[in-house]
Amino acid sequence: MITSCKEPFTVKESLDSVNLFIRKWFVNKYKEPTPPQRYSFKLIKEGKNVLITAPTGSGKTFSAFMSILSDLMNMSLSSKLEDKIYCIYVSPLRALNNDIYRNLTVPLDEIYGDITIPIKKISIGIRTGDTPQSERQKQLRKPPNILVTTPESLAILINSPKFMENMKDLKYVIIDELHELANNKRGVHLSLSIERLVNLIGHDFTRIGMGATLYPLDEAARFVAGYDGNEERDCFIVDATWDKKLDFTAISPVKDMVNASDTVVDNAIYKLIDQTIKKNNTTLVFTNTRSGTERVVYNLVKRFKYSDEHIAAHHGSLSREIRLGVEDLLKKGKLKCAVSSTSLELGIDIGSIDNVIQIGSPKSVARAVQRIGRSGHSFRDVARGEVIVTNRDDLVECSVMLDAAKKHHMDSFTTPKNALDVLAQHLVGMSQNKKWTVDEAFYTIRNSYPYHNLERKDLISLLEYLSGMYVGLESRRVYAKIWYEPSDGTFGRRGKLTRLIYYLNIGTIPDEVAIDVMTRENKWIGSIEEEFLSRLKPGDIFALAGKTYRFEYSRVMKCYVSPAPGEVPTIPPWYSEQLPLTYELAINIGKFREQMASAVSHSLPRGKSALLLLGKGSMKPNEQARKILNSMPLNENAKFSIYNYFAEQLLFAGHVPNDKMILVEYTEDKEGERNLIIFHSLFGRRINDALSRLFAIALGEMYPIDVGVNVTDNGFVLVAPLTTKIRKENITELIRNTLGMDMRLTLTHNIRRTEMMKRRFRYCAARSFMILRNYKGKKISVRRQQVNSQLILKAAEEISKDFPIIKETYREIFEDLMDLPRAERILKGMRNGEISYKIISTQVPSPFSHTMITFGEADVIMMKDRRRHIRELHKLVLSKIKKT
Amino acid sequence: MKLDKDVEILDGLPLLYIRSLSAMVCSDLHLGYEGVMANRGVFLPKANLKRIKEIIKKGVGICHPKILIVNGDIKNEFSEVHVEEFNEFREFANFLKADAKIERLILIKGNHDNFIDRLKEPLGFEMHSQEVLMGKYLFFHGEELPRHGDDAFLVMGHVHPSISIYNKTGPKEKLQCFLYGTDRKGRKIIVIPAMNFFADGFSVNTERNIGKLAPIFAKDLDIDGMEAFCIGEGEILDFGDIGSLHNIEV
Please name the amino acid found at residue A796: A
Number of domains within chain A:
6
Residue A346 predicted with pLDDT over 80: no
State the average pLDDT for chain B. Answer: 90
In sequence order, the β-bridge partners of residue A312 are A338
Residues of A in contact with B173 (CB under 8 A): 873
- In a domain, residue A526? The reply is yes
Residues A258 and A233 in one domain: no
Residues A624 and A746 in one domain: no
Q: For residue A452, give every residue at least 6 positions away whose Cβ sits within 8 Å of its Cβ, in sequence order, or none.
A: A226, A227, A446
**What pLDDT is stored for residue A579 in this prediction?**
80
Pair type for strands A436-437 and A490-493: antiparallel
Residues A237 and A260 in one domain: no
Residue A377 predicted with pLDDT over 70: no
Q: Which residue of A has its CA nearest to B243?
A: A881
What backbone torsions phi and psi does residue B190 show, to the nearest 5 degrees? -125, 135
Rounded mean pLDDT of A629-635? 96
Residue contact A475–B35, C-beta within 8 A: yes
Residues A354 and A268 in one domain: yes
**What pLDDT is stored for residue A574 in this prediction?**
47
Residues A250 and A375 in one domain: yes
**What pLDDT is stored for residue A854 in this prediction?**
66
- In a domain, residue A411? The reply is no
How many other CB atoms sit within 10 Å of the CB of residue A844? 12
Report yes or no: A533 at the B interface, CB cutoff 8 Å. Answer: no
| Domain termination site, one of A539, A556, A577 | A577
- In a domain, residue A610? The reply is yes
pLDDT band of B237, cuts 50, 70, 90? very high
Domains contained in chain B, CATH given:
7-245 (3.60.21)
Residues A604 and A703 in one domain: no
Residues of B in contact with A755 (CB under 8 A): 170-171
Give this prediction's pTM.
Answer: 0.84
Contact A81, A75 (CB under 8 A): yes
Residues A187 and A275 in one domain: no
Residues A444 and A537 in one domain: no
DSSP element (H, E) containing A730: helix A728-739
Instruction: Give tens-digit pLDDT for A683-721.
Output: 999 999 899 989 988 998 888 777 777 888 999 998 887
CATH of the domain at A294: 3.40.50.300
**What pLDDT is stored for residue A780 in this prediction?**
58
CB environment A847-882: b (16+ within 10 A), e (fewer) = bbbbbbbebbbbbbbbbeeeeebbbbbbeebbeeee
Residues A385 and A256 in one domain: yes
- In a domain, residue A413? The reply is no
Residue contact A794–B166, C-beta within 8 A: no
In sequence order, the β-bridge partners of residue A491 are A436, A484
Higher pLDDT, A58 or A417: A417
pLDDT band of A41, cuts 50, 70, 90? very high
**What pLDDT is stored for residue A182 in this prediction?**
95
| Domain termination site, one of A470, A505, A540 | A505
Closest residue to A792, CB basis, from B44, B232, B248: B44
Q: Which residue of A has its CA nearest to B168?
A: A535
- In a domain, residue A452? The reply is yes
- Please state, in angstroms and rounded to a whole number, the distance separating the CA atoms of residues A39 and A6: 9
Q: Is B146 helix (H, G, I), strand (E, B) or coil?
A: coil
Residues of B in contact with A535 (CB under 8 A): 166, 170-172
Contact A719, A710 (CB under 8 A): yes
**What pLDDT is stored for residue B169 in this prediction?**
53
| Domain termination site, one of A480, A505, A530 | A505
Q: Is A837 helix (H, G, I), strand (E, B) or coil?
A: strand
Residues A649 and A537 in one domain: no
In sequence order, the β-bridge partners of residue A561 are A519, A551
Mutate to test the interface with A, among B1, B42, B53 (most CBs of A within 10 A): B42
In sequence order, the β-bridge partners of residue A251 are A388
A213-217, A424-428, A656-660, A798-802 — which is least confidently predicted? Answer: A798-802
Instruction: Give tens-digit pLDDT for B186-227.
Output: 999 999 999 998 887 899 998 878 999 999 999 999 999 999
Domain that holds residue A614: 590-653
- In a domain, residue A368? The reply is yes
Q: What ipTM was estimated for this complex?
A: 0.74
Q: Identify which of A686-690, A777-781, A871-875, B165-169 has the greatest average pLDDT.
A: A686-690
Residues A667 and A804 in one domain: yes
- For chain A positions 744-783, those within 8 Å of chain B (CB to CB) are 755, 769-776, 780
Please name the amino acid found at residue A105: T
Q: Could you tell me how many helices (H) and strands (E) chain B has, helices first? A: 6, 15
- In a domain, residue A585? The reply is no
Report yes or no: A479 at the B interface, CB cutoff 8 Å. Answer: yes
Q: What angle do CA A862, A866, A870 make, to 5 degrees?
A: 90
Residues A556 and A489 in one domain: no
Rounded alpha-carbon distances, angstroms, from residue A810 to A182, A691, A815, A821: 20, 16, 8, 13
